Every structure is written in structure tokens, then in C-alpha cells.
A and B are shown apart, each in its own frame.
Chain A
Amino acid sequence: MPAQGSRTGLRIYREYVTLPRVLAVAAAAVALVATGLGGVALRDGSDAGGTASFVAGAVIGLYAVVLGLLVTRRHPANLVGAVLAWTGAFLILSSASETYTLTVAGADQLAAFSEGSWMWLYVPVALLALLFPDGRLPSPRWRMVAAGLLTVPVAFTVLVAMSPGPYPAPYDDVPRPLGTHEWAAPLAIAMLPLFLGLLVASAVSLFRRRRTADAVGRDRLKWLVVAGLTVPATLLLCWTSYLLLGDADLVVVGLAAMYVGIPTATAIAMLRHDLYDVDRVLSGTITYGLVSAALLSVLTVATFVSGLVVPGDSTIAAAAATAICAVLLSPLRNRLQRKVDEKLYPVRRGTLAAIEDLRRRAHAGIARPEELEPVLRAAMADPDLRVGYRMPGGTAMVDAAGNDRRTGAGATPVLIGDDEIGAITFSRGCPAPLAREIADASALLVEVVRLRLELRAALDAADAGRARLLRVSYAERRKLERDLHDGAQQRLVSLGMSLRLAQRHLDQQQLAQRDVDGAVDVDGLLDTTVAELATAVAELRQVAHGLRPSSLDDGLGPALSNLTSKVPIPVELDIQANGSLPDELTTTAYYVASEAVANTLKHAAARTVVLKVAQTDGQLRVRVTDDGLGGARVATGSGLAGLSDRVAALGGTFRVLSPPGGGTTVEAVLPCGS
């Protein structure tokens, strides 16, 4: 189907043959041709200076062309790449035509046009500023500026070529191809302020754009501003050059930096605007620029003064001045960096300061390292920022409370050495280098938090284990107690009843033989045996009671009443435990009371004991107070230490207050959850 095929072809054609592509390729072609012609011209003869100048121009120009092509390849509909390519093409064209004019016979006619051609070097840069970053003019009104940038240099070149007066050396005797006209020179001069106005307008367009740009556009613009900073940097170099060398030769370096810097910055902005943290580059550049300016000022003054004081030996003076400046400026740089950061880069400065502050407060014990997440959220104005901690030995991330946390694919890992100990997820775009810097600054806090988490998990596990063990041991005791009651005790009583039954059936004859010498007194024997059995049962009952007081089945109050009813000194009971409490709680409370009362009886020589149990605010409080000798201690292996362990296993607190001669208070506070 040829029709459809041709439509498809047309579509492909429209898609691939875009104006920026065509322009970029054209620039590349022009650049290659110009390089070729320049090369040919060089072969025909040139001095070393001319060769170096051409080669430098060609290399820098080709660099810009290649970058322009790359940008166009990535953004085929964006004119920025094409303009970038033309920046290089113009540079090559300029230096090639210069070389060509110089070396090729008969080409000197071109000199007429090369005189005003310097203006073209600014055109691509100005257009770049105008079209950056989306390849479109800020608004239709700016078409005038663009058109001016393209027509004014043409007019200027032609007018300069027609101006009267000889060419500069070495073309003094070359005739002017378009003739000379008196009116051309003033007109050409009139073009200069016009052109300057167009350049300023292009620069202004960048600031207009900044106001309307989105985050990415703003990042890209910043890159261009960084590149634009090479312009004042060139001025600084000029200054330095005059100061140190006495002429402006170093400016060439600045110009080269500018021509390398602007395409580089443009390409980074268009291809990888998040390659570096542009804010950081910007603020660093400005800081270093300011420091350099300050250094040069001091140096200028110092050189001047020392020249007055120590005439003749300017090398020593310059060295001394430089040393003094370096010493003076090194603290200045940090302060300056902070100031510049505050103005240009508040997020980085604020966030790093907040992390540092938290670290200091955590060290001083007035803040918890777990506050890292809220601190970062506040400092970065990012309410959805998340910090995940990787538990040692685990793979999943948790938050500061130990709950599972998804950090997401775009998270920035927090590393110590090669170990990933956590991750930070920025929900608002954060440049990768800044993210890295924040993650590194947070690493110590993250490490502390995850270790604390691990410790807490281990302690929780230990606590849970202890509580479980205690419950199991109580359950075991309960089971043993029942087994004793229902098993052994019951069996012994049954045995006793059988013996009694047997005893009742002893025949009278056997009873009559009771008094006969040598005969066994069966009746008496059975009495004794049954009495022994009854004693055994009573003893078993005691054992069972020791395992677990059965009276606890009736509740804590009755059990404690039972306990104190056997105490030989007066006991004041005040029991206010209403709700039904878990078995391990009542059992522990009972043991606390029982052990404390037993201690009082054994050691305190007390006259009275007060036993108080109160259940309030989710706590069960057991307090035993006596008026005895005091001086009790919780020694290892003692009954009190055992109590302390039991109470701690349930998450309670246990304390003994026993000043010598001041009586003893034993108190346990147990959480009871109601």
C-alpha cells in the first residue's frame, strides 16, 4: 500500500527531520568544513602562534558542536542544542577565517569582513540565553530581540567593511571590496549600543524565566548562571594578569574557560541537570569568586605598600603578602560559604546545621536520635520524608518505632563503610549529591538509632521471655498443687478409709487376743497407721499450699486474710483490689506479701505489720510496712531478691525501704492494665 507507506514515511520524516536537527547538523557541517579549510590554510604556511590559536579555537569549537549534537539527539525539538552547536561553529569559523585570510593567497579580501565579525561570537551565546532551557522564546514579544541578534551583526559587519580608513596590520594595503563610504562608520558605531542593548535583553530574559520556571527548569537555569559566572571570572583573571604579569595574556585562559564552561554547563543542564548539586556548585563558585576577589584586593594593596617600604625586592614582598592573605582568608572562606549558603542554598545549609544540632543535643542527652526524621522533615520542608533503619542482621527497613517501613526504590542509602544501615526517601526532589551529603551526615545518628532499636528489641524479648517463664512456672505450680490434692492426697484418704473399714471388721476373737503376749495389736496398729496417713495428708496439704496457696482461687483478698490469720503479731489489713486480676499478678502480689511478712517475723522484731493492697490507675500496689529494726537488704539469692525478679518479670517495680531502726517497707507496683 504505497499511499499508506508514503504517509508513514512523511510521519517519520516529520518526526525525525526537525528544525533543531537540521540546524545542528548544518552547524556540524559548517564546523567541519571550516576546520578543513583552516587545516589546509595551516599547511600552506603559518607561524606557531597562529597555529596554536587555530587549534585551540577548533578544539573548543568542536567540543561545543559535539555537545550541541548530543543535546539535540536527546531533545530533538529543542533549539538549545542547535544554538549550542552554532556557538562552536562560529568559533571555528572565526578562527579558521582568520587563519585562512592570513595564509591563503588572494584570501585577504576576506579581511574586510573579519574586522566586524567578532560580533558573531556573541550571537549564539545571546540566543542561548534567550531560548534556554525549552528552546522557545519567553514570549512572542522577544522575537524582536532574536531578530535583532541575527540582523544587527550582519549590518555591522557590512558597515565596518565599508567604513573608510585602512585595515589594521597586516592588511594595510588591501583595498576595500565594497568601496568606502563616509556614512558607514557612524552607522556602524551606532550599531554598538543597539547590540549591547540586545545582549542585556537576552540576559534579562533569563531572570524573567526564572520566575515562571518549574523545579527542573530552575535547576537548568542555575547551571547557565554558573556558566555565566565565567564572565566575571574572566574579568578577575584580567585583573590578576595585570597584577602579576603586567599584561592581559591570562585573559585568554579565562576566555577559553568561558567557551568551554558555557557549552559544558548548557549540556549538563539539558542532559543531566541533576548530575551535580547545582546549588552547591553555584554557591561554591560564588564563594570562591568572592574570596579570590578579596585575596586579589589585599594582594594589590600589599604589593603597592611593600613596594613603597621595601623597594626593589618585590618577590619576597609578594610571597609574604600571599602568605598573610592565605592565613587571613582561610577562616573567612568558611564564614563566607555559610553566608552565601544562607542566601543561595538555604536547604543544604539548614539541613546540615539541623543534623549537626541534633547530633550535639543527642550527645548532650537532651534530644533523642530518633528525632532525625522530624528534624529532616522540618529542615527540608518535606513532610513525607522517610527515614528507614535496617536492623542488624535483617533486610527489612523499620521506622524509629520499630515498625515495618517501605523506603521505596528511589531511597538514598545511608552507609557506614560498605554496610547499608538505613535509607532516606525524599518525597520532594532532592539533588542526588545533596541527598548523599545528608545521608552521610545522618549516618552516625542512624547507626545509634538502629543499635537502640536492636537493644530495645532484645530487651523486649527478654522481658517477654521472663514474663512467659513466670506464667509457666505459676501454671506448673498450680497443676502440681491440683495433682497433689486430687491425686496423692485423695488416694491416701481413700486408703485410710479402707483401713478403717477393715478395722471395723476385725472379729472379736482377734480383738480378744489383744492382751495375749506376742500377739499383734491389729486394732492399735490400724489406728496408728490411719493417724500417720492423716499426718501425711496434712503435710501434703502444706506442700501444696507452699506450691501455690489454694486460697488464691478465692481471690487476692481472701488469700491475704488467710495468710495474715496465722501471723502471731497484729496485722492491719487494707485491701482494695476489686477487679478480677490475672493469675500471675495475684500470685506475685501474694508472694510479695507473704515473703515480706515472713521476713518481718524472722528478722524485724516488729510489734505490728500493715499490709496494704491498692488497685488504681492500671497499677496494683502491694505494700508491707512494719515497725521493726529495719536494715533489710535485697541480697543476691535472698527471698527479697527473688521477689524483685518476679516483680520485674511482670514489668513492675520493687523497692525496699529499710533504714536501721526505722522499720521496713517493702513495696511492689505491678502494671495490671485496668
Chain B
Amino acid sequence: MSPDRLATLSDQLVLAAILLYLAAMVGYALELAFGRVTETVRERKLVSVGGPAEEVPEAAAPEPASWAPKAGLAGTVALWLGWAANVGGTLTRGLAVDRWPWGNMYEFVVAMLLAAVTVFLFLQVRYPVRFLGAFVAVVAAIGLGFAVRVLYTQAGPVVPALDSYWVAIHVSAAIAASGLFIVGGVAAALFLVRKEGPSRLPARADLERVAHRVIVIAFPIWTFAVISGALWADKAWGRYWGWDPKEVWAFITWVAYAAYLHARATAGWKGKAAMIVSLIAFACLMFNLVGVNIFIGGMHSYADVSK
């Protein structure tokens, strides 16, 4: 296929991914709305595998609809299909431009959401986290929509500074870490929205557990992304750290997530306080991506967003 055809195919696949993510959201949401009510106190498999599962009596709740699990399953299928379209969109873009498909902000956001959905699907295979599906799906759909509407740039070559194997190392790490942090951010946000007690929303303990688990994995990857960024800067600009706005915010994000881990591990903060810290950190991550690229600039102004 010619590069132009591939580029067009890539655009179509990204659109397909948006629609499928929306479908997945509907499926998952129906299951949440008409399925079982969850309670904070009930010990889920995710919380403790070994200990005896304590059965807490169900609160008086309406009988769950019998078709609800099927809707959830349909959501899962749609999410897998959307994921496949997202993978295809990124792959064809890479083939069309003959380089790593994360050379500008549009491509980066598409890949980052792909990473987030991948993380979620992986978690779903291993742990019972279907309750998060609707929220991950809607974030992925909105994110991709934003990328297509606001950030879109025609497929093409990158500036010489970006034509480097460091893209594969540094940007890939940033994408992987961001994907994980997004899942953590979704769980933390839900935690704050959900009140204690019975609710249609997932149990707080589960949400906190998921958030912690992904952040613990993401933090070393983010550390690596920052360090490999410094290595690249040392190659490209002659200093490994220059307090460029992008670097400043990568550092702030890192410190904020370190503070979250610290708060949990050493200060013993649990629940709301720790979740709020993690959300502050997540906000820093997002500001670095959107705010710094669009409003501040600096040497990292490779976002290539059409104005």
C-alpha cells in the first residue's frame, strides 16, 4: 500500500476505535446500572485472595437484571475490538511515515490511550476489574476524539532532532507510564466520586487497590522516561537537565507521584488523602502533556499542533 493509503487507513481505524470505545462504554455502563450493587465492606477477590472471603449480607437492593452481565460482556468484546482498531491505527500510521508513530502530539495521544486501554484489558484478564470498564472506555473515547478534533496533523516526517532512536526509548517509556497513570487516575477519580456505603459504583477498596497497583508499576517507568529524556537532551542539546518547561513539569509530576508513594508507605495515609495526592500528580502529568505543549512551549515544542 502507498503511504497515502496507509495514512488514510490509519485515520479511519482511529475513528473506528472511538466508536467501539463508545459502544464498550455503553455495555459496561448498562451492567453497572442494572447489575449488582456493591458495598465497600465486602471483601473482593482482588483485595485478598488467601484469606477466607467473608460474606457480608447484601443490603436490601433491587434484584439485578438477568441480562446485565451479558451487557458487560458485550462491552468487553467492543473494548477488545476498539483496542484492535487502535493498534491498527497506530501501526498503519507508523508504516505510512516509516518511523515510530509517536512523533507529534496527535500520535502521542493516540498511542497513550492505546496504552491505557491495553493496561486495563491486561488487568481485566488477571483481576476482576470489569467495574472500571465504562470509565476507562469513556476516557479513551473522549481522549481520541480530542486528538482527532484538536491535535490532528497530517502524516509526515519529523524534524531532525526527533529523527533518533531515542524516540523509541524515551517516548515509548513516557507512553507506557502515562497509560498506567491514566488507569490509576480513573480509579482515583471514581474513588472520590463514590460515597461510602452501597452504591452502583465499584467499591472504594477495590478502586484504591487498582490505583495503587498501577502507580507502583508506572512510577519506575516514569522515572526511566525522565532519565532517558535527560540522556537524549544530553545528546541533542548539550545538557542533560536545563529546566525547560517540559522538564520542569516532568520533574513536578515525578515528585508528586513520589509524594503519593511516600504518603502511603511512610506516613500511612490511606483512602481519601492519598487518592487526592495521586490525582494532583495526575493533573501535573496531564498539564505537562496538554498545557505545556499548547500554552507554554520551550525547547520541547515538537507537539506540532496545527494552530
Question: Do they bind each other?
Answer: no
B binding-site residues for A, Cβ under 8 Å = none
A binding-site residues for B, Cβ under 8 Å = none
